[in-house]
Chain A
Amino acid sequence: MPSLSYQERSLYGELLADLAVFVPYFILIHSGHPSISFIAGSITILILAQIILQSIIAIATRNRLKDERDRLIALRGYRSGYFTVVSLMLVGMALLWVHSMHDELNAGHMGLHFLSVFFAVLMLAEVVKTVAQLIAYRRPL
């Protein structure tokens, strides 16, 4: 296993925090109705987990240099994340249209539904972005 750069360690930390929050969130959200406090709590835990993990990685790494290859890989990751957001948004809009055609939408839960869907889309895009970057570090550019 080759030594990891600061950027790679940081990405693994990011992925760990994302999965640690998103997997329980995804399981719990499917076992009941989402609430604003649950989604807000998940976002807060995610931010705190990221801060703690990134701080530990930064303290444990002496050389925190970011070079041209790191920047190129970051761009590739953001491109993958962007395509994920766009694709999932299109799927979401199509589903919304299908539900509206069958009068299945409850106006009272609409806001909450959108909030949980947006959070899920952002989390999935974040995971895809991070995984794409980690793969790029191991493949020829």
Chain B
Amino acid sequence: MPRIRNTIRELRAVREMTQQQLADRIDLTRQTVIAIEGDKYSPSLETAFRIAQVFGVPLEQVFQYEGKGKR
């Protein structure tokens, strides 16, 4: 299970952006956006940067690493 948490759902909600709209902007499928939001898939570094770029925030505001033993 990935130990990388994210705030994509919250950032999307603030901007009233749908999962499909986000997926279209970063060339992912909606299913992959759903998997990332549900912490079921950790995206590549490049995709992570592109997501942060879409929201206009630093990477660490979108993704947070939770070390071993914190879950």
Contact with B along A102-141 (1 / 0, CB 8 A): 0000000000000000000000000000000000010111
Interface size class of B (residues with CB under 8 A): 10 to 19
Instruction: Decide if A63 touches B2 in the complex (CB within 8 Å).
Output: no
Q: How far is the CA of A63 from the CA of B35 in the complex (A)?
A: 18
Of the four ranges (under 10, 10 to 19, 20 to 34, 35 or more), the interface on chain A belongs to 10 to 19
**Alpha-carbon distance A137/B41, docked complex (angstroms):** 10
In this complex, the member of B30, B31, B32, B40 whose beta carbon has the largest number of chain A beta carbons within 10 angstroms is B31
A37 within 8 A of B: no
| Chain A residues numbered 42-86 whose CB sits less than 8 Å from any CB in chain B | 63, 65-70
Q: Is the CB of B41 within 8 A of A5?
A: no
B29 touches A141 (CB 8 A): no
**Minimum CB–CB distance for A11 against chain B, Å:** 12
Question: With contacts A67-B29, A70-B29 known, is A140 near B39, CB below 8 A?
Answer: yes
8 example contacts (A-B, Cβ-Cβ < 8 A) are as follows A2-B34, A4-B31, A6-B29, A69-B29, A70-B32, A140-B41, A141-B2, A141-B42
Q: Interface residues, chain B, CB within 8 Å of chain A? A: 1-2, 27-32, 34-35, 39-44, 47
